[in-house]
Amino acid sequence: MPAVITHYQFLLRVSSKLKKAGIGISDHEMAMIGAQGPDIFFFHRVLPWERGESYAPIGSRLHNISPAKLFEAFRSVLNSEQIKYNEMLGYIEGFFCHYALDRSTHPYIYWAQQHLAEDDPSYGKKPVQYHFRIESVLDTMVLRRETGRLIRGYDLMNALPRNSGGRYETVGRLYSSLLFELFNIKLPAEFLAHAPGDMRHALFFMNDKTMLVRRLVFRPVEKLMRRGHFATSLLRPNDTGDWDYANGHHAEWFNPDDKQQKSNDSFFELYDFAANEATDMITEFMASLSNGKSMQDITQDRGFASDLPGVYEEK
């Protein structure tokens, strides 16, 4: 969830590869929102002053469903739409980027969070705090690798566009139809449309360019509550050298969902491989918009977390 910079930079990498292949992203700003995938719902109406029911559980359901079924539903909704077609297509292209990166890197990240917890047991009370810590550090590292910039000069809100031209409303309409097709639940488009804006608001509070917020605000609260680094794990650090977060030393690791599947790849090797896969999936999707290849063939139905065919919680 904290990997907002990584997903944005990954979109830029894939966009460049597509451009070289003669294929343009249909709508770049919508693709930026799509590149954050289901993560936008983790922030839906979660801040205390945001009124209305939070649909945050939708983020988990979309991560845990069959990817083939999910993208078939995306294609079905897209083909039934006449209004904002290119905008919705751009969003789905960005979503492919999110999916490709998640499935490629999550097995490593889930393995790494277990080992980080063993090496630093006092840091977190829950596994997710180690997961967030790793992804926050990787944001810092990806920004430096892809742009040469330091995190202290970066505004996280740059990774998500503002709501102009009805972008957020288009996201809401897309998801209103998608969720009905997938889960037979009816949710109002105008309320689903809050998700990208709510995420952008949350990113404002996750900026910590001076590194003073974590030291003067969040850490005292965390120590008082004794719940581990539940807040600071979401903040990007300047220093990334306290642990081998990207597996730069090429230690052997295994996929927690299949321990026979072992690798020495670094995070960045997985990142580069995923960029090729995202480019291929988007190209095949564009060629199959009305009919053609099934999403099973395009995605191999490999889970967001497991990278394995058929391994996900919700069929």
Task: Determine contact, residues 219/228, Cβ cutoff 8 Å.
Answer: no
Q: Identify the domain containing residue 106 by its residue range.
A: 4-289
Residue 296 inside a domain? The answer is: no
Residue 311 inside a domain? The answer is: no
Residue 176 inside a domain? The answer is: yes
- Residue by residue, what is the 3-state secondary structure of 52-103? CCCCCHHHHHHHCECHHHHHHHHHHHHHHCCCCHHHHHHHHHHHHHHHHHHH
User: Which helix or strand (DSSP H or E) is residue 249 part of?
Assistant: none
Instruction: Determine the length of the chain.
Output: 315
d(CA 202, CA 288): 36
Residue 199 inside a domain? The answer is: yes
Q: What is the pLDDT along the chain (315 residues), one digit of tens a residue?
A: 569 999 999 999 999 999 999 999 999 999 999 999 999 999 999 999 999 999 999 999 999 999 999 999 999 999 998 789 999 999 999 999 999 999 999 999 999 999 999 999 999 999 999 999 999 999 999 999 999 999 998 999 999 999 999 999 999 999 999 999 999 999 999 999 999 999 999 999 999 888 877 887 888 888 888 889 988 999 999 999 999 999 999 999 999 999 999 999 999 999 999 999 999 999 999 999 987 899 999 999 999 999 999 999 886
Instruction: Round the CA-based radius of gyration of the chain to a whole number and report it.
Output: 19
Cα separations in angstroms, 27 against 87, 118, 247, 250, 285 = 6, 44, 34, 37, 16
Residue 313 inside a domain? The answer is: no
Helix spans in the chain (H): 4-20, 28-34, 57-63, 67-80, 85-119, 127-147, 167-183, 189-192, 194-206, 212-213, 219-225, 267-286, 295-299
pLDDT at 2: 64
d(CA 267, CA 105): 7
d(CA 255, CA 259): 5
Residue 315 inside a domain? The answer is: no
pTM of the predicted model as reported, rounded to 2 decimal places: 0.96
**Amino acid letter, 261:** Q
Residue 123 inside a domain? The answer is: yes
- Helix/strand/coil for 180: helix
Domain count across the chain? 1
Residue 207 inside a domain? The answer is: yes
